[in-house]
Amino acid sequence: MPGFRRKITKHFGDSLTPSKPYLSYHDILLTSDDIVSLKYDWLTDNNIAFWEEWLEREVLPKYPRAHIVLLRPSITFLLMQAIDLKSIGSALPDFRKTTHIFLPVNDSRDRERADGGSHWSLLVVSVIDRVAFHYDSLGGANFYEAQKCTERLGRVLGLSLRFHQMEDSPQQGNNSDCGVYVCIVMRHLLIKRLLNANSNEKVSMSMANKVIDSSGGRKEMMQIIESLRKEGERRRSLSPMSTSSKSGSSKTPPRIE
């Protein structure tokens, strides 16, 4: 989603700008706090936004005919909290050719805090079928939020969307893995169900019997981040603009763009 950071800053201001940069990956800036959360705690907006950015940059280009949108957590929050939906049009992508939309849903009800809330779930909207599938790893904890998100997105699309709570969604075993479940389920549905689907067959969106390895998921995401960080360091070392100043380099994170 080109220009994502510019668009979201327009609506939320500079308060979202992190202070301890760790990796700059296209439109996403991960911080050291994000890394700590990814390793041990509840995933941040940035963690999930990075995962979506990575899927967009590394996976979706292999399927040029796909018209799938991965909305960032802050955009989903904006969609759910905006008083006037017309006022956020500039922050939303062009949905005219879109077949499916993935939305990370958070239970924050505070309009002033895009990073609030305590639970993540995943909403997948099939625009072509006019159905919204909700995957919640904590029973129906985000049922209200997901229904609200579905209704508001339907208004933006000009469609009446049927809401379907996926009762077979894998369930987390603790209080901190909801974001990891969102990321793993997102990738599974994106790649295994949608991108590799046979055009002659009806795609099942069920997650029945799918086992989620949250610990392995965290490690894999960290491995991806560390690999990109090393590549960013390598590119910086080869750049004629690179500096030998340790203080300067410490303030500038490795960058991939």
Predicted confidence (pLDDT) per residue in 84-141, tens digit: 999 999 999 999 999 999 999 999 877 666 567 899 999 999 999 999 999 999 999 9
Q: CA 157, CA 134: separation in Å to the nearest integer?
A: 18
What is the model's pLDDT at position 11? 42
**215 confidence band (pLDDT: 50, 70, 90):** very high
pLDDT at 237 over 70: yes
Percent of the chain with pLDDT over 90: 80
The structure tokens listed for 153 are 């997105």
Please state the domain extents for the chain. Answer: 4-219+247-256
Question: Among all residues, which ones are annotated catalytic?
Answer: 119, 136, 178
What's the confidence (pLDDT) of residue 193? 95
Strand order in the sheet with 255-256: 28-31, 21-25, 255-256
Q: Which CATH architecture does the domain made up of 4-219+247-256 adopt?
A: 3-Layer(aba) Sandwich (3.40)
Shortest CA distance to 168 belongs to which of 207, 131, 137? Answer: 207
Q: Mean pLDDT throughout 16-23?
A: 73
Full-model pTM: 0.88
Are 82 and 88 within 8 A, CB to CB?
yes
> For all residues of the chain together, what is the average pLDDT?
89
Q: In what order do the strands lie in the sheet with 120-126?
A: 68-70, 100-106, 120-126, 131-135, 162-165
pLDDT > 90? residue 239: no
* pLDDT tens figures, 154-195: 999 999 999 999 999 999 999 999 999 999 999 999 999 999
